[in-house]
DNA sequence: GTGAAAGCGCTAACAG
DNA sequence: CTGTTAGCGCTTTCAC
């Protein structure tokens, strides 16, 4: 299937007291009970007390379905991740993003629906979007073509991108300045005296990956040097290994490697070490993301910090504002920092 | 918050054609449209065609909330994982379990709600359970006290455990014969000529961890040898490292180590190698689970195969049967196998 | 086979 | 501040 999500939704099934029961016991009208239950402040204190007692007594729990039906709100927000399950559960960046969204939603009573939609699930995702399951959408890790304007529009709810949307798709977003991130990495390497710098880029159908590459290339150009090698992975550990191997086998001389994700950097590191290449003596390595294991003693990877958690949190807040009908900044772009450790 | 879930649920928000619209366009009654939409076979072919055309024409999508409200069914099934987010996204076993459930549910139209409920979220989980959000519950990775009979009963829906529930909690379940798994590991090590065997157990508030330890101990006892050392981790990589360090520092002599999870085995392996101990020459290592990286060339860990995916799939099928009111086998116990690789 | 009618439990104007 | 009144959109007996 390919949908995975956070939730708390759906509807109450059967049993249980209804608003009406509570109203009867408390000796007030249904509307009043409804107000109390939702915290609609305009109710006299004594009635509130009565209602609360009745609610407790009856073990009343609101019926979600009825609530949604009447309010035309689902009480949920969906986080759309156009990646395969295995990737999401494997890349720490997503974990931080998810926990960031969770945190950002915490101030509201919205539930998180995690929607993993690998390419094959296109139809399913579309159905989901049309199904009106959420009051708002958060999109992370978007590749070109994953979601079209039309499909998004069908959902008829506010959308916020975590990471700049591709050209042609206009939507509010939060993002890291990935171009600057690429520059940062390149500059650092140059300052360390490296001149034969290779880069393993991320998938070029993702704006973030493109930006990182461009920033890297620009910085090199500004310094009047050319990149020693450029290749493309998909942000995974395996692709990092693969591209490092290719780099090694190409016979290219290089004294530094910039990987567009920590996972790829880790994969490359493994291969380099396997060949007896010393890091950072022979080759300096810089990653991107700053996943937890990058700071691990035995790895200690120099990397560009990608505050995924923070971005996600901001994105969630933006979405909440949008849903509430508040005005928001259409774009929020954070400035990257470099965490210098032992690989450079 | 601490709930994470799969979903597809909630309710349609606004817009869109209703059953009534379709009925009008198709020239039939609402009831008929409803029957057609749900595939309630008793409808004349020509009317079916008319309805389908109208549905297509209007782009009709059923409103979930209304559906749930009327049918008193949510169309969702919850997978309860009493673990912290970080753990779930970090342990490949959960990934297989999740994908197994996903697969098992695929034959139905039920949606998966992933509920991560760390201990602090007890109240939240309880609320969720009482909320009637799902038509059935699947519980995996249950620790003593995580869920009580009462709490489960409040949900008032069928429950299936993936992994034997603790004493006192009676529920249908699917499980691996963990005792046999522990035996298998011990026997293998003994057959390899090892006699000073250490074990890093899992948390003893989990039946699976207890069983693995007991199987291990029994097999050793049958062979007339005593375990060299026994300690307890929590199934994570970090705890594997920690316990291995403790083992090393205790000065205990040992020529084999059985870890109750692959992640712990990996952590231990790292520490052993860090100390210049050769595996398997000096120390043989056996893990449990057979996560993907266990089969990795550079690791090649001998391990007891825990078919998490299969178990989860079976569990989901059982739950579906239960929800449909069908009779089921109260317990399904799979027999473990050993994957012999390079660490023994 | 098919339609009519009666809600599911709640929210949301609208009076008062 | 509070009660009354309508539905939200769909499923589900129950007759026909």
In tens, the pLDDT along B156-197 reads: 899 999 999 988 899 999 999 999 999 999 999 999 999 999
**What is the reported pLDDT for B100?**
93
Kindly state the average pLDDT of the residues B200-218. Answer: 97
| Residues 69-98/B with CB < 7 A to strand D | 69-73
**What is the reported pLDDT for B326?**
86
**What is the reported pLDDT for A55?**
92
* Closest alpha carbon within chain B to A75: B10
Measure A21 CA to nearest chain B CA, in Å.
Answer: 17
Question: How far is B92 from B308, CA to CA, in rounded Å?
Answer: 10
Residue ranges of chain A with per-residue pLDDT less than 70: 1-15
A72, closest nucleotide (Cα–C1'): D8
> In degrees rounded to 5, what are phi and psi of residue B130?
-75, -20
Contact A157, B13 (CB under 8 A): yes
Measure A7 CA to nearest chain B CA, in Å.
Answer: 5
Establish whether domains A3-70 and A74-174+308-332 are of one fold.
no
Contact A75, B145 (CB under 8 A): no
Q: Does A149 touch chain B (CB under 8 A)?
A: no
Residue B343 predicted with pLDDT over 50: yes
Residue B8 predicted with pLDDT over 60: no
| Interface probe, candidates B2, B8, B135, B273, chain A, greatest A C-beta count within 10 A | B8
Kindly state the average pLDDT of the residues B232-249. Answer: 96
Question: How far is B115 from B266, CA to CA, in rounded Å?
Answer: 28
Q: Cβ of A115 and B7 within 8 Å?
A: yes
Q: Is B196 helix (H, G, I), strand (E, B) or coil?
A: coil
| Residues 8-27/A with CB < 7 A to strand C | 12, 14, 16, 18-20
**What is the reported pLDDT for A11?**
33
* Closest alpha carbon within chain A to B16: A130
Encode pLDDT of B255-271 as tens digits.
999 999 999 999 999 99
Q: What is the mean pLDDT of chain B?
A: 90
CATH classification of B178-306 is 3.40.50.2300, yes or no?
yes
Question: How far is B207 from B210, CA to CA, in rounded Å?
Answer: 5
Q: Place B15 in a pLDDT band, splitting at 50, 70 and 90.
A: low
**What is the reported pLDDT for A92?**
82
Kindly state the average pLDDT of the residues B262-282. Answer: 96
From the list B5, B14, B67, which residue is nearest A5 (CB)? B5
CATH classification of A3-70 is 3.30.1330.120, yes or no?
no
From the list B4, B74, B86, which residue is nearest A10 (CB)? B74
**What is the reported pLDDT for A268?**
97
* Closest alpha carbon within chain A to B127: A61
A30, closest nucleotide (Cα–C1'): D3
| Residues 60-119/A with CB < 7 A to strand C | 60, 62-63, 66-67, 69-73
Q: Does B18 touch chain A (CB under 8 A)?
A: no
Distances (CA, A) of A336 to A158, A306, B294: 27, 7, 36
Contact A93, A202 (CB under 8 A): no
The CATH number assigned to the domain with range A74-174+308-332 reads: 3.40.50.2300
Query: Is the bond into A280 cis (omega within 30 degrees of 0)?
Result: yes
Question: How far is A65 from A55, CA to CA, in rounded Å?
Answer: 19
Signed CA dihedral, A6, A1, B102, B323: sign only: positive
B257: left (phi over 0), alpha (psi -120 to 50) or beta: beta
Q: Is B334 helix (H, G, I), strand (E, B) or coil?
A: strand
Question: How far is A333 from A174, CA to CA, in rounded Å?
Answer: 6
Question: How far is A161 from A172, CA to CA, in rounded Å?
Answer: 6
Encode pLDDT of B17-67 as tens digits.
899 989 999 999 898 999 999 888 788 988 899 999 999 988 898 898 999
The closest of B66, B136, B18, B77 to A63, measured between CA atoms, is: B66
Q: Is B80 helix (H, G, I), strand (E, B) or coil?
A: strand
> In degrees rounded to 5, what are phi and psi of residue A140?
-130, 150
Question: How far is A146 from A205, CA to CA, in rounded Å?
Answer: 10
Residue B11 predicted with pLDDT over 60: no
Question: How far is B34 from B38, CA to CA, in rounded Å?
Answer: 6
**What is the reported pLDDT for B23?**
92
Q: Place B317 in a pLDDT band, splitting at 50, 70 and 90.
A: very high
Strand partners of residue A81: A116
Kindly give, in sequence order, each residue whose CB lies less than 8 Å from that of residue A62, ignoring residues fewer than 6 positions away: A12, A19, A37
**What is the reported pLDDT for A7?**
33
Residue B5 predicted with pLDDT over 70: no
Residue B114 predicted with pLDDT over 80: yes
Domain boundaries, chain B: 3-70, 74-174+308-332, 178-306
| Residues of chain A contacting B95 with CB distance shorter than 8 Å | 85-86, 89-90
Within a 13 Å sphere around the CA of B310, how many CA atoms are in the beta-carbon half? 12
Instruction: Tell me the count of A-B CB pairs closer than 8 A.
Output: 216
Residue B14 predicted with pLDDT over 80: no
CB contact residues (below 8 A), chain B span 159-218, against chain A: none
**What is the reported pLDDT for A15?**
58
* Closest alpha carbon within chain B to A103: B1
């Amino acid at each position: 299937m390919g949908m995975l999500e956070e939730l708390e939704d759906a509807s109450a099934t059967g049993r249980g007291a209804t608003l009406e029961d509570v109203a009867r016991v408390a000796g007030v009208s249904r509307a009043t009970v409804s107000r109390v239950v939702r915290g609609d402040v305009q109710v006299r204190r004594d009635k509130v007390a009565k209602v609360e007692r009745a609610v407790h007594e009856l073990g009343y729990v609101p019926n979600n379905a009825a609530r949604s039906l009447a309010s035309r709100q689902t009480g949920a927000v969906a986080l759309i991740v156009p990646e395969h399950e295995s990737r999401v559960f494997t890349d720490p960046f997503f974990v931080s993003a998810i926990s960031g969204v969770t945190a950002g939603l915490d101030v509201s009573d919205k539930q998180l629906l995690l929607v993993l939609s690998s390419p094959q699930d296109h139809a399913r995702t579309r159905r989901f979007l049309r199904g009106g399951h959420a009051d708002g959408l958060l999109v992370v890790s978007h590749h070109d073509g994953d979601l079209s304007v039309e499909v998004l529009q069908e959902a008829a709810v506010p959308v916020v991108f975590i990471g700049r949307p591709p050209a042609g798709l206009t939507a509010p977003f939060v993002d890291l300045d990935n171009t600057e991130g690429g520059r940062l990495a390149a500059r650092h390497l140059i300052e360390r005296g490296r001149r034969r710098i290779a880069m393993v880029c991320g998938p070029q159908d993702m704006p973030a990956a493109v930006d990182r590459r461009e920033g890297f290339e620009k910085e090199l150009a500004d310094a009047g040097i050319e990149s020693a090698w450029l290749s493309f992975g998909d942000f995974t550990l395996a692709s990092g290994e693969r591209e490092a191997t290719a780099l090694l086998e190409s016979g290219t001389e290089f004294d530094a490697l910039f990987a567009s994700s920590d996972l790829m950097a880790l994969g490359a590191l493994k291969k380099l070490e396997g060949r007896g290449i010393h890091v950072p003596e022979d080759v300096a390595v810089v990653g991107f993301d700053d996943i937890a294991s990058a700071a691990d003693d035995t790895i200690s990877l120099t990397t560009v910090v990608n505050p995924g958690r923070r971005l996600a949190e901001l994105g969630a807040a933006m979405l909440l504002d949008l849903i509430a009908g508040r005005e928001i900044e259409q774009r929020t772009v954070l400035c990257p920092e470099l965490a210098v450790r032992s690989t450079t």
